[in-house]
Amino acid sequence: MKKTVLMLAMLLCSMVFSASVLAENDGVAATSSGKTVKMAGGTPGGADWRYPSPFMFYPRGPGYCRMSLLFDTLTWKDANGVIPALADGWEVSDDGKEWTFYLDRNARWHDNELFTADDVEFTIEYMQDHEGEFTWFETIGYIDDVEVIDDYTVVIDLSEPMASFLVDLAGNVPMLPEHIWNDVSDPLTFKDDDAVIGTGPLKLVEYDSATSSYQYEANYDYYDGKLLVDEFISMDVSNTAAALQTGTVDEVSFWGSEIDAVQNFENDPDFEIITGPSFWVLQVIFNCEKYPNDILDFRQAIAYGIDRDEIVSQVLGGGGMPANTGIMHPDSIWYNPDCTVYEYNTDMANDTLDSLGFTEKDSDGIRQYPIGAKRSGKVEFDLYTLKKFENEAELIQRNLEIIGIRINVRTSDWGTIDDYLKDGNFDTVISGHGGIANPQIMRVPSWPASTYHNDDYDSTFVAQEVEMDLDTRKELVNQLQEMVADDLPVYTLYHPYMWCVYNPEVLDTWFYTRDGIGIGIPLELNKLVFLARYGDANENGKINMQDVTQIERMILELDDETEMADANQNGRINMQDVTQIELTILGRAPIRIG
C-alpha cells in the first residue's frame, strides 16, 4: 500500500512538474480591469486561422476578419453598405478609370507613425510586386498607376473601368505601413511583431497557433470612433452552445442544421440572437462534358426530380431556404428573382427522360441508356461528395431512383474530389461555396470544375465587370443568373441561415454586414462591432433585425407562422428595400450602393 501511495505521489509530482514546464508566464501580471469580449472563433478540428498579417492569414473569411481588425482599407461596409474608412471621401471620373481618394488626416499606425498617401501608393505597388503571395481575392491587376497628390490625396488610375472597385479593391486591400514593409522581401514568411502593425481599431497582443487563439487589445487612438471594448479574445471551443451557456465565451455563431441549438437560446432572456444570410450555396455540379450530363434536357429532368424543400426540411431541419437557381443570394442586391424555378415534379422529369429516349426500364425500375448512346446499360452514375453532405446526397439518390436514375453516392475527402473536378473526371459532385453576394463569384459558375462553356456567358461576365452604371450592371448580372438557371451547369440546392447568439450584457453591437464583410464574408466579426460609431443606428435599439422582419411581414401581410424565406425567395422583398425602410424610419437619406 505504501508503495502504491508513493507511486501515485510520484506521478502527481511529475504531472505538476511537466505542467510547470509549460507554464510560461512568470507571474508578473498586469491585471486588466477593462471590458473583455470573448468569441468562439476556432474551427472544429483545431485548425487555426493563422497569423493575422496581410500575407499570412488563412485565405478564408475568418482569417480575413482576424486580419481586418488590425488593418484598415480605404472603404469599409456596415449594415447598410459602403462607408468611408481610411478614405474620408472619394470621387470617380466619368469614364470610371480614375479614382481620387481623400484620406483621413488623423489615422496613425499602431507604432504611432502617421498614415499618409505614400502608404497607399506603397501598398498597391507592393501588392503588385507580390501578387502571387497575396492569396486573397485577385483584384490588384486592374490598377495602372498610383499618383500621390499630397499627403492626404491619392489618385488611382485603372486600366479599364472596374465596377466593383469600391468593394473589391478599396474595401478589400489592407493598407500596409511603408516604413515596415519596405524592407520585407518575402512577405509570406514575415512573421515579426511588426508584421501586424496596422491602423485598425485593435492591436494584436498574442496569437497562439496550437490553441487557435487570438488576443487583441483596444487601439485607443483609433481615428474613426471610440472603442467599446478593452480586450477581444477569439478562442477555440469544442461545444459552442455549452461554451456560451457556461460563460466561457460571450458570442458564438451557428449555421444551417445547428438550428436546434439556436432554438434552445430563443427563450433564454440572457442571450440575444440575430439571423443572417450565409451567402453560401450548396449545389450539384454537373459534368457538362460527359454523357449523359452533357445533355441539357437530362440535367433539367434531374432538377425536376430533386425535392429541394425536402432537403431543407429533412437535412437542415428548416435552417435554410431552397436556393436561387441563379446562384446569387436572395438577400443580396444582385439577386434576380425571375430565374427559372424547377418545382419538384416527377411527371415533368419522367416525360423529359422519356422524350430523350431513356425509356426502357428493367425490373428494378431503372432506365436504360438509348441504343447507340455513349454509354450502355442502366442509367447509373456516381455522385461524389464530402462526408458532411452525405445526407443531402442520399436524399437525392432516393429522389432520382423514383424517376429511374440510379446514383451511386461516394464520399471522399476534399483533396480527392478537388482532383476529379479539376481533371473533369466526374459525373456529378455535391459541393458548396460562399461569396454569393458578390457578382465576381459568377466568373466560373461550376467552380471549381470548369466543364461549362458558354461564350455568351463569358462575355456578359466581362461586360458587367466594367459596367459603371449600377442598374445596367445589375441587368447584366441578372442575365448571368438566368443563364445559369437555364443551362444548369450547377443545380443549386439551398442557402443555409447563420445565427449570431451573444450575451448583450457584454457587447450588444453585433450585426451582419450588408452583402458581407469585404468581398462578401458572411460573418459577424466586423471591426465596427467594437466601435461606438456604428452603435448609433442599431445600438440604441432604434432598429434591430426583428423589427425589420416585422416590417417585412406587415408589408406582405403575413402572419407570424409564415416562413420568411418564401417572402425573400420570391423576390417580393429584398434587403435593399428593407434598408431603405430602415433609413426612412431613422429619418436618414437613402444611401447609394455600388
Partner 1 sequence: MHQINKLAYYLVILFIILSINFSLPRVMPGDPLSYLTDPGADIPPARMTEEKMERLLAYYGLDKPLSEQYINYMVGIIRGDLGWSIYYSAPVLEVISGRLKWTLLLVGTSTAIHVTLGILIGATSAWARGRKKDMGLLISILSISSFPSFFLGILLTILFVIKLDIFPLCGAQTAFATYSSPFEEIFDILHHLILPVATLVISHIGGTYLLMRNSMLGVLGEDYIMTARAKGLSERYILHRHALANALLPIVTMTAMTVGFMVTGTIFVETVFAYPGIGNLLYNAVLYRDYPLLQGLFLFISITIVGANFIADMIYIRLDPRVKHE
* Residues 501-530 close enough to bind partner 1 by CB under 8 A: 516, 519-523
- Contact pick of 6, 7, 13, 296 for partner 1 (by CB under 8 A): 7
- Contact pick of 9, 13, 47, 586 for partner 1 (by CB under 8 A): 47
Q: Applying CB under 8 A, does 413 fall inside the site for partner 1?
A: yes
Q: Applying CB under 8 A, does 133 fall inside the site for partner 1?
A: yes
The three-state secondary structure class of 159 is coil
Residue found by looking up cell 501586424 in the block: 196
Cell numbers describing residue 251? 458570442
| Smallest gap from residue 124 Cβ to partner 1 (A) | 18
Q: CB of 278 within 8 A of CB of 498?
A: yes
- Return the CA Rg of the chain: 26
Closer CB to partner 1, 322 or 496, in the complex: 496
Cell numbers describing residue 1? 500500500
- Contact pick of 238, 314, 355, 546 for partner 1 (by CB under 8 A): 238
Q: Applying CB under 8 A, does 29 fall inside the site for partner 1?
A: yes
Label each residue of 287-338 as H, E or C.
Answer: CCCCCCCCCHHHHHHHHHHCCHHHHHHHCCCCCEEECCCCCCCCCCCCCCCC
Nearest CA among 397, 438, 431 for reference residue 417: 431
Window contacting partner 1 (CB under 8 A); options: 58-66, 264-272, 307-315, 472-480: 58-66
Cell numbers describing residue 582? 430602415
- The region, left, alpha or beta by phi > 0 then psi within -120 to 50, assigned to residue 108 is beta
| Smallest gap from residue 147 Cβ to partner 1 (A) | 27
Q: Does a cis peptide bond (omega within 30 degrees of 0) precede residue 52?
A: no
Q: Applying CB under 8 A, does 213 fall inside the site for partner 1?
A: yes
CA–CA distance, 379 with 54 (Å, rounded to integer): 50
- Contact pick of 115, 122, 126, 136 for partner 1 (by CB under 8 A): 136
Which residues 532-591 are close enough to bind partner 1 by CB under 8 A?
A: none
Q: Applying CB under 8 A, does 371 fall inside the site for partner 1?
A: no
- Contact pick of 211, 376, 472, 570 for partner 1 (by CB under 8 A): 211
Task: Quickly count: other Cβ atoms within 10 Å of residue 211's Cβ.
Answer: 12
| Smallest gap from residue 39 Cβ to partner 1 (A) | 11
- Contact pick of 206, 354, 362, 382 for partner 1 (by CB under 8 A): 206
Closer CB to partner 1, 150 or 186, in the complex: 186
CA 142 to chain centre: 23
Closer CB to partner 1, 4 or 540, in the complex: 4
Contact characters 447-466, partner 1, x per CB under 8 A: xx------------------
Closer CB to partner 1, 260 or 297, in the complex: 260
Angle between helical axes of 470-487 and 455-466 (0-180°, round to 10): 160
Q: CB of 227 within 8 A of CB of 219?
A: yes
| Smallest gap from residue 459 Cβ to partner 1 (A) | 18
CA–CA distance, 364 with 404 (Å, rounded to integer): 9
Closer CB to partner 1, 88 or 390, in the complex: 390
CA–CA distance, 134 with 530 (Å, rounded to integer): 27
Q: Applying CB under 8 A, does 338 fall inside the site for partner 1?
A: no
Q: Applying CB under 8 A, does 46 fall inside the site for partner 1?
A: yes
Q: Applying CB under 8 A, does 60 fall inside the site for partner 1?
A: yes
The three-state secondary structure class of 420 is helix
Provide CB contacts within 8 A for 462, sequence distance 6+.
none
Q: Applying CB under 8 A, does 189 fall inside the site for partner 1?
A: yes
Q: Applying CB under 8 A, does 8 fall inside the site for partner 1?
A: yes
- Contact pick of 276, 322, 404, 435 for partner 1 (by CB under 8 A): 435
Q: Applying CB under 8 A, does 358 fall inside the site for partner 1?
A: no
